[in-house]
Amino acid sequence: MQSFSFSKAQTVDEATGLGGRYIGGGTTLVDLMKLDVETPKTLVDVTGLPLAAVEKLPDGGLRIGALVRNSDLAFDPTVKAEYAVLSEALLSGASAQLRNMATTGGNLLQRTRCPYFRDTSYTNCNKRNPGSGCAAMDGHNRMMAILGTSEDCIATHPSDMAVAMTALEATVHVQGAKGKREIAIGEFYKLPGTTPNVENALEPGELITHVTLPTPRRGSKQVYLKLRDRASYEFALASAAVVAETSGGHVRYVRVALGGVGTRPWRAHEAEAALVGKPATAEHFRAAAEAALKGAKPQTENGFKVELAKRCMTRALTMATA
Amino acid sequence: MTVSTTGTAPETMTGATAEAAGAAASQHGIIGRPVARIDGPLKTTGTAEYAGDFHLPWMAFAVPVQATVGKGTIRSLDVTAAEAVPGVLAVLHRGNMERLYRAVPNDPNATVSETRPAFEDDRIYYWGQYVALVVAESLEQATAAAAVVKAEYAAETPEVSRELEPFAGKWNTVSTRGTVDAAFAAAAVKVDQTYGTPAETHNPIELHATVAVWDGDRVTFYESTQGVVNHRNAMAQILGVPRENVTVVTKFLGSGFGGKLFPWPHCALAAVASRKLQRPVKLVVTRTMMFSNVGHRPVTEQRFRIGASADGKLVALRQDALNHTSLVDSFDEGCGEATGYLYSVPNLTVASALVGRNVGSPMAMRGPGAVPGLFAMESAMDELAVALKMDPVELRLKNDATVDESNGRKFSSRHLRECLETGSAKFGWKQRTPQVGSMRRDGKVLGWGMAAASWGAYRFACATTVDLNADGKARVRCATQDVGTGLYTIFAQVLAEKTGLPFERIEVLLGDSSMPEGPLSGGSWSTATVLPAVAEAADGAIASLLSIAASTPGTPLAGADAKTLRMTEGRVHRATESAGLPSAGVPFEAVLQAARLNGVSADGRSGSVFEDPKARDLSMHSFGAQFAEVEWEPEIARLRVSRVVTVIDAGRIINPRAGANQIRGAVVMGVGMALLEETVYDRRNGQPINGNLADYLMATSADAPEIDVTFLDYPDFALNSYGARGIGEIGLAGVAPAIASAVYHATGVRVRKLPIRIEDLMQA
């Protein structure tokens, strides 16, 4: 760990004016600082900012402060009742201790668990050292991504929460030197392409202040299904967040996002397009899953994720339309 | 060091303990009673001191620097930046550190895990090997300085492949009888398959830790070791000091699973740094280093050939077992441990060989040899049962052995048949339908599998001293250690049984090499080893007390024949007086006080079973049967172990509560072995790439199945007068093959290479 300065901000303006890395729960940042992967010179503690509330919005949506802890958000009565997919996703992530610390804003910025990213003895990591290469590609790649990868990076996006928020079409609200702006979650995460060091749409110094969720769709069912080797405390091998509405045995509305398989939380637009208006049957769910995984590019050890993601999505759609 | 329930214990005792203590108004029957561990309150309140908890004045902190290549030569080592870090006291390396001696090869009383001392040459044999040691005023400073030591290597490509075949080296015959190849060739039904187990990392929760303190020419280690005596002897040899100048203290262990049996290179490094600086030095191995520098269960690859007659009688059994080892040690896993005696088969050969890899030295891990060996053999037996269309329990029963056919000896006590029958009944095995995927519950496919289990029974030399003191307390001392499983309590139970004193008046002092020499905590032999020694010492101290009572003027018992006196409930009385009555005799401390004695002491000894004429001609083993149920959801490739029934024949169980706890823990470990655990080495540089507790998967509480533990409780008096064998390892044996067989029954996929992963099952 490198030396750093530390200050605690009381207001959003003060925080954005201090010009440092923001620290909330610290579950990702401190972990990576101990590994020298993150080496911030200045830390700005934002946990004192008034951003810890979950509030119903006049339009029926929900506003989640960036400092709301994962466990508080998961057990929030409105979230449990109206955004069950988010509650389920949060509770499937990490451990109780980590969820008690991790914040909403911090979780959106959670970094990959790629072992080669986390170990600085590998100088070849395009995320850490742009242009240096990728040690994962030819390494132990069972947990790596199969969707959205590039020649430069195959690191999996680790979050469960962000997958659910992607299916819920959340909006990320940020504030920086140039003021406030809103970013649709579908635009928030960047594909690695040739710049895997750029992971999201935040400008330098911008702080996530809150996340808003649109009004829950009446009559829709929500499911988060996470598949992994063990029953707890493991990143997804494949997960699926589904929000679906059916009537007359047909799919009227559906949003699908996948986790554990993409370089970012993976919105399955092709699957949605293939499903809307179609009968809610296993055959159509499977066809949608095939469409979603059509562009999958497995590595030497993770070919099984292609089929696993399809099964995961098919089952989640079945549950959400039952 | 002492564990005494005096003081803190009564307030913090669990309900069950309080109940046990209450019942112990009579300590009669304390052997075999499910009492809570006497050290429990110290642990649940965080007051038990583990090695890393020792903080001494003026202590310095050491952090090793690890090689980042898996094979090669150190070309240069630049420590200037590290030396410039504030607080750094020394950066030790090959160029400036005093040479360490090697421990004497094959000295059974001074065994080391990795025979090559740190920094002995410039070669890198495995990723993570120590190349330098930074010592600083604080852990943070030492860590920061270690990160800026610049090593350059002439790197070579390491060999870390999990595949051990093709192997062209020399095989060693471990056991043979009959003509196995001819018998196999002629057998009516055959299985010929190869099974593999991965490198597994011990991962006790307590990290390896050494605190070394020199005082002149004497050194004390506060150490996380499973053998304080061995550790002392080895350190004396390595550091070049007389044995009596070394003291090793291990009050508590956060377990070791075999990884802490013998010293690793970091132990001597801490001592050398402390000697150089003349300050206490603490070195705690990091979790990542636990995966490379302090042992692991080696990769095994075992070909099994089993031939049987058409009605299921074994005619041939051949095991050819490879395991990997490091390039600095020859570690033989001993996969044939249980093969030679478990079943009756006239033609058998067990052969083994080692394959060198660029990995740290392997080390015994819970049930070494037997656990991976039984995974292979019991999986092969299940395959044979399928080939025979025979029930797998029936197959085992049909081939049960009545003598140890590997050496012709009688078994001291063998109840495998009853383990199988009891387990079968408790599990409900009769309801099993053998067709793959034929059983269902709540929409899930059920798989039922089973396996037999075995582990050796041993007793080694042990000395203890028991004191009966004028303060009304009994005390026992022994230079052994409690790995966390309940040995403190075993000592207390024996002393309570002998003296009738409640636990509150019993002190058990273990974990200090200056005490009478006791056993290593390994091989499941601690309980069987210490019991007779404690009993003898207690009997001796009581005899001394009774003699004094008879000969001390002024006590109510003066002038009596000592032979007519007894000690019961902590009181000395005439045999004719009813024991336990408040009026019977006098409190034992009153005798000592009247005699103006501080106390009486006696030593007790037990010898090795190998030198015991009554025992050495017997085959002594524990046995068990494991029955496992898995739930399988093929639509999402989800497999979970839902139920395990385990029946253990391990002699008399001294403390069924601590004992069942050990078996349950072993079953959970077995779930991890079957489905999760594997240390993965990056083939390019030999690094254990999943070297942390998030990426190296072990079973969590959520993965723990419903576990039903039964002890048959047949005493094995050949091993000791209490009839106790050991239970530390047998609980893990057989769990993985039972699960693998259940997985086959559910899915139709036979996984012969652990762990069983989702990608294997997706073939179903």
DSSP string covering B618-645: EE-EEEEEEEEEEEEEGGGTEEEEEEEE
Q: Which amino acid is at A51?
A: L
In contact, B642 and B631? CB cutoff 8 Å = yes
Residue A35, Cβ neighbours under 10 Å: how many? 15
State yes or no: pLDDT of B8 exceeds 80.
Answer: no
Confidence of residue A302 (pLDDT cuts 50, 70, 90): very high
Interval B601-606 mean pLDDT: 97
Interval B120-127 mean pLDDT: 98
Cβ–Cβ gap B690/A139 under 8 Å: no
End-to-end CA distance of chain A: 51
Confidence of residue B632 (pLDDT cuts 50, 70, 90): very high
Q: Looking at residue B6, what is its pLDDT?
A: 33
Cβ–Cβ gap B143/A1 under 8 Å: yes
Pairs of residues, one from chain A and one from chain B, whose beta carbons lie less than 8 Å apart = 67
Alpha carbon B341 to its chain's center: 22
Mean pLDDT value across chain A:
97
| Chain A nearest C-alpha distance from B760 (Å) | 9
Q: Looking at residue B580, what is its pLDDT?
A: 58
For A236-258, the pLDDT digits (tens) are 999 999 999 999 999 999 999 99
**For B692, which residue in chain A has the nearest alpha carbon?**
A115
Nearest residue, CB atoms, B703 vs list A231, A237, A304 = A231
Confidence of residue A218 (pLDDT cuts 50, 70, 90): confident
Interval B18-33 mean pLDDT: 63
Alpha helices in B571-655 (DSSP H): 588-594
C-alpha dihedral sign at B354, B356, B357, B361: positive
Q: Which two tokens stand for residue B62?
A: 């050491």
Q: Which two tokens stand for residue A236?
A: 């997804």
Does residue A185 lie within any of the structural domains? no
Q: Which amino acid is at B371?
A: V
Q: Which two tokens stand for residue B159?
A: 């060999």
Q: Which amino acid is at B564?
A: T
| Chain A nearest C-alpha distance from B702 (Å) | 6
| Chain B nearest C-alpha distance from A63 (Å) | 32
Residue B432, Cβ neighbours under 10 Å: how many? 22
State yes or no: pLDDT of B53 exceeds 70.
Answer: yes
Does residue A181 lie within any of the structural domains? no
**For A239, which residue in chain B has the nearest alpha carbon?**
B636
Q: Alpha carbon of B588 to those of B499, B567, B603: distances in Å?
A: 9, 8, 19
Peptide bond into B86 cis (omega under 30): no
Interval B686-696 mean pLDDT: 97
Residue B388, Cβ neighbours under 10 Å: how many? 20
In contact, A247 and A260? CB cutoff 8 Å = no
Cα distance between residue A150 and residue B417, in whole Å = 59
| Sequence-separated (6 or more) residues with CB below 8 Å from residue B175 | B336, B339, B340, B348, B349, B350, B406
Cα distance between residue B239 and residue B266, in whole Å = 13
Interval A131-160 mean pLDDT: 98
Does residue A270 lie within any of the structural domains? yes
Phi-psi map region of B637: left, alpha, beta (phi>0 left; psi -120 to 50 alpha): left
**Closest-CA residue to B386 (of B191, B634, B626, B645):** B191
Estimate the crossing angle of helix B526-551 against helix B487-499, to 10 degrees.
30
So what CATH class is B367-399+408-456+615-761?
alpha beta
Cβ–Cβ gap A227/B638 under 8 Å: yes
Strands A179-184 and A21-23: unpaired
Confidence of residue B15 (pLDDT cuts 50, 70, 90): very low
Confidence of residue B576 (pLDDT cuts 50, 70, 90): confident
Does residue A271 lie within any of the structural domains? yes
Cβ–Cβ gap B762/A232 under 8 Å: no
Cα distance between residue B185 and residue B512, in whole Å = 57
Q: Which residue has the tokens 């910025």?
A: A109
Confidence of residue A209 (pLDDT cuts 50, 70, 90): very high
State yes or no: pLDDT of B691 exceeds 50.
Answer: yes
Residue B104, Cβ neighbours under 10 Å: how many? 14
Residue A15, Cβ neighbours under 10 Å: how many? 24
Does residue A39 lie within any of the structural domains? no
Share of chain A above pLDDT 70, in %: 100
Q: Which two tokens stand for residue A137?
A: 């590609």
Interval B86-111 mean pLDDT: 96
Cα distance between residue B476 and residue B468, in whole Å = 9
Domain ranges of chain B: 2-48+460-607, 367-399+408-456+615-761
For B518-570, the pLDDT digits (tens) are 999 999 999 999 999 999 999 999 999 999 999 998 888 999 999 999 999 99
**Closest-CA residue to A185 (of A266, A274, A296):** A266
| Chain A nearest C-alpha distance from B691 (Å) | 9
| Chain A nearest C-alpha distance from B594 (Å) | 59
Cα distance between residue A175 and residue A207, in whole Å = 5
Nearest residue, CB atoms, B637 vs list A227, A230, A233 = A227
CATH number where A280 lies: 3.30.390.50
In contact, B500 and B571? CB cutoff 8 Å = yes
Which residues of chain A does B689 touch, with a Cβ-Cβ cutoff of 8 Å? Answer: 115, 139-140
For B70-85, the pLDDT digits (tens) are 999 999 999 999 999 9
Alpha carbon B548 to its chain's center: 42
State yes or no: pLDDT of B4 exceeds 70.
Answer: no
Q: Which amino acid is at B382?
A: D
Does residue A242 lie within any of the structural domains? yes
**Closest-CA residue to A175 (of A3, A4, A9):** A9
Count structural domains, chain A.
1
Cα distance between residue B372 and residue B128, in whole Å = 26
Q: Looking at residue B581, what is its pLDDT?
A: 64
Strand extents, DSSP E, A26-68: 42-45, 54-56, 62-65
State yes or no: pLDDT of B3 exceeds 70.
Answer: no
- CATH number for B2-48+460-607 (one of 1.10.10.1590, 3.30.365.10, 3.40.50.150, 3.40.50.300): it is 3.30.365.10
In contact, B248 and B236? CB cutoff 8 Å = no
Q: Looking at residue B13, what is its pLDDT?
A: 29
Active site members of B = 729
B8-34 burial, b if ≥16 CB within 10 A, otherwise e? ebeeebeeebeebbeebeebeebbbbe
Structural domain including A235 reads: 221-321
Does residue A115 lie within any of the structural domains? no
A→B contacts (Cβ < 8 Å), by residue, are 1-2, 36, 113, 115, 119, 121, 138-140, 225, 227, 229-234, 237, 303-304, 307-308, 311-312, 314-315
Tell me which of B638, B681, B757 to substitute to probe the interface with A (most A C-beta atoms closer than 10 Å). Answer: B638
Nearest residue, CB atoms, B695 vs list A1, A115, A315 = A115
Does residue A230 lie within any of the structural domains? yes
**Closest-CA residue to A79 (of A3, A168, A201):** A168
Q: Looking at residue B657, what is its pLDDT?
A: 97
State yes or no: pLDDT of A89 exceeds 60.
Answer: yes
Interval A176-201 mean pLDDT: 97
Q: Looking at residue B26, what is its pLDDT?
A: 61
Q: Looking at residue B10, what is its pLDDT?
A: 30
Nearest residue, CB atoms, B758 vs list A2, A36, A304 = A304
Alpha helices in B500-651 (DSSP H): 526-551, 588-594
